[in-house]
């Protein structure tokens, strides 16, 4: 789920009002985190103990939000560890915070002050758990497709219909691989998530359909429609992905 998907959840239609950071609406949301604990403003607070990347962070404590310097300093620390979006109650969003969010492409959502946060948490967590379950099923489907020796066409199509995956037309498999040195020295799980995030973001600009992906040791496979995505667009995606991946020492082959 990315931020665009999040605001389209019917139960949250009038709950999440985007105030700034529209450039980051493709950010992937992995979980929701409520950061109103007192530890957040203490000097010994270590952001890496609480933020692991991809969080939609909720801040409603006025002792934090009313202090512009403290608030922006805290958000800066969390942003450095990869948060995806920020939610703050109405009446607690300053012009400085709007400028900061816009400058960092960090989606900033205004929340109705009287909206129960427990409802927000339950709705988002249920959607994220369902999405994770579907992702596991999609990986199983992709694995079945790759196992051509035991391929069962009827079973594959039945799984695709259940997951609302359109298998009409032709497809190709693209492998996004980590360099050996990076795979040995880095956090393979974190790098894998980052690589999947890059792939998902780049393809989202060219197709409304989700891309089936499968994490491997040191790489991620993607099943790409060779008909719904033009060849020149696919080359553009691959060239952009190569450029973006240089920071993480990744290579791409197909």
Residue 160 lies in a domain: no
Last residue of a domain, one of 52, 81, 115: 115
| 103 and 21 co-located in one domain | yes
| 107 and 202 co-located in one domain | no
Last residue of a domain, one of 87, 115, 143: 115
pTM of the entire structure? 0.68
Residue 229 lies in a domain: yes
| 9 and 108 co-located in one domain | yes
Residue 140 lies in a domain: no
End-to-end CA distance of the chain: 26
Give the separation between CA 148 and CA 116, rounded to whole angstroms: 50
Predicted confidence band at 36 (pLDDT cuts at 50, 70, 90)? confident
Instruction: List the one residue out of 61, 39, 54 whose CA is nearest residue 117.
Output: 61
Quote the pLDDT of residue 230: 67
Alpha helices in 68-171 (DSSP H): 68-80, 95-103, 117-146, 153-162
**Residue whose tokens read 């979980």:** 31
Whether pLDDT at 144 is above 70: yes
Q: pLDDT of 54-68, one tens digit each?
A: 999 999 888 888 888
Instruction: List the one residue out of 212, 230, 232 whose CA is nearest residue 222.
Output: 212
Instruction: Give me the DSSP letters along 13-29.
Output: TTT-EEEE-GGGTTPBP
Give the separation between CA 17 and CA 50, rounded to whole angstroms: 25
- With b for 16 or more beta-carbon neighbours within 10 A and e for fewer, the 167-181 pattern comes to beeeeeebebbbeee
Give the separation between CA 48 and CA 78, rounded to whole angstroms: 8
| 243 and 173 co-located in one domain | yes
| 80 and 12 co-located in one domain | yes
| 109 and 10 co-located in one domain | yes
| Average pLDDT over every residue of 124-146 | 86
Neighbours of 122 (CB within 10 A): 13
Which residues make Cβ contacts (< 8 Å) with residue 115, sequence separation at least 6?
Answer: 15
Residue 219 lies in a domain: yes
Range of the domain at 183: 166-253
| Average pLDDT over every residue of 182-198 | 64
Predicted confidence band at 249 (pLDDT cuts at 50, 70, 90)? very low
Whether pLDDT at 7 is above 60: yes
Q: Domain total for the chain? A: 2
């Amino acid at each position: 789920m990315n931020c665009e998907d999040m605001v389209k959840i019917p139960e949250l239609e009038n709950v999440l009002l985007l105030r700034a950071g529209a450039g980051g609406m493709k950010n992937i949301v992995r979980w929701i985190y409520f950061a109103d604990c007192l530890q957040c403003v203490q000097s010994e607070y270590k952001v890496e103990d609480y933020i692991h990347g991809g969080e939609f962070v909720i801040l409603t404590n006025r002792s934090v939000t009313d202090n512009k310097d403290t608030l922006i300093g805290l958000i800066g620390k969390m942003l450095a560890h990869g948060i995806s979006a920020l939610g703050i109650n109405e009446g607690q969003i300053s012009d400085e915070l709007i400028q900061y969010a816009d400058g960092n492409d960090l989606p900033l959502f205004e929340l109705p002050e009287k909206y129960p946060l427990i409802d927000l948490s339950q709705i988002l967590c249920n959607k994220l758990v369902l999405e994770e379950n579907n992702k596991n099923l999609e990986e199983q489907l992709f694995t079945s497709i790759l196992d051509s020796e035991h391929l069962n066409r009827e079973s594959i199509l039945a799984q695709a219909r259940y997951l609302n995956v359109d298998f009409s037309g032709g497809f190709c498999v693209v492998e996004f691989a980590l360099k050996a040195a990076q795979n040995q020295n880095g956090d393979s799980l974190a790098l894998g998530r980052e690589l999947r995030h890059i792939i998902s973001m780049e393809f989202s600009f060219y197709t409304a359909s989700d891309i089936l992906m499968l994490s491997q040791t040191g790489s991620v496979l993607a099943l790409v429609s060779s008909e719904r995505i033009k060849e020149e667009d696919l080359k553009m995606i691959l060239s952009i992905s190569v450029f973006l991946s240089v920071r993480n020492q990744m290579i791409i082959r197909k």
